[in-house]
Amino acid sequence: MDSINKKEVLIVLPAFNEAENIGELLDQIREHLAYESHLKFRIFLVDDGSHDDTLKIAQEKAKIMPITIIKHEVNQGLGTTIRDGLYEAVKYSNPKDIVVTMDADATHNPGLIVRLTRMINEGYDVVIASRFQPGARVIGLVWHRRMLSIFASIIFRIMYPIKGVKDYTCGYRAMRADVLKQAMEGYGDKFIDEDGFQSLVDILLKLRSKKLMFGETPFILRYDMKKGLSKMNVGRTIRKTLVLLVKRKFVSH
């Protein structure tokens, strides 16, 4: 029973100007994990140079729930932010822990964390919240963003097939902590060396080289719940993702 009690869900939250969303999201995480599912958890919140009240709200919440805050003095982008959160989580982790990454903008419902972690406990190494599994829905996202996700899924499945994976760009995932640690040790500083949204794809491409069990669960993307402006520059993301496609195909990691 002791080993079971020590297992934790470690949630990495990259946040930039999410004052309108972060407080409610943190409350929902605690409600779903601690109160409803009785899971032990810790949140690693990386504030990426926010100039609103994101950091202040997180610091207040940290007084009543387990939150480790990593602060960037200036905005450094999603790649660096997700890297710093993952490295802190893995450094803190035990081998049986589960690391979850998700967005801090209220589009990722924390109720799904329980299902993601359950699938890890059932034998998967990496589980993705997928927009391309039966039962998935996308609400409130403009049509060209939907088409971008569909196009990316098709291209990556052709060029970099991973058994069990259709959604390469969704950052809502669960991973075994020991798997992440081994990958980080193997790649060193190059495990996360992309600076934008394409860093999420690159993590999967690098884990692809390992003999891992990947799985997906249907996901309801609630873009209509998001408050505030999108942080994604669509044109830049497309351009850098295409560059990543070529780089990973012809340049060894």
Mean pLDDT of 98-113: 95
Vertex 227: Cα angle to 221 and 232 (nearest 5): 70
- pLDDT of amino acid 150: 83
Torsion of CA 105, 117, 171, 213, to 10 degrees: -170
With beta carbons less than 8 A apart as the criterion, state whether 42 and 10 touch. Answer: yes
61 vs 194 pLDDT, higher one = 61
DSSP β-bridge partners for residue 138: 221
| CA atoms of 103 and 12, how far apart (whole Å) | 9
- pLDDT of amino acid 3: 43
Confidence bin at 72 (pLDDT 50/70/90): very high
Q: Flag the least confident range among 2-6, 36-40, 45-49, 226-230.
A: 2-6
Strands of the chain, DSSP E: 9-15, 41-48, 67-72, 98-101, 126-130, 137-139, 173-176, 214-218, 220-222
Mean pLDDT of 224-253: 61
| CA atoms of 223 and 240, how far apart (whole Å) | 23
Share of the chain above pLDDT 70, in %: 86
For 221-237, give the secondary structure using H, E and C: EEHHHCCCCCCCCHHHH
CATH 3.40.50.800 fits 2-250, yes or no: no
Confidence bin at 251 (pLDDT 50/70/90): low
| CA atoms of 66 and 76, how far apart (whole Å) | 25
Buried b (16+ CB within 10 A) or exposed e, 136-173: bebeebeeeeeebbeebbeebeeebebeebbbbbbbbb
Cα 133–chain centre separation = 18
CB count within 10 Å of CB 249 equals 10
Domains of the chain by residue range: 2-250
Q: Flag the least confident range among 32-46, 53-67, 186-200, 236-250.
A: 236-250
235 vs 209 pLDDT, higher one = 209
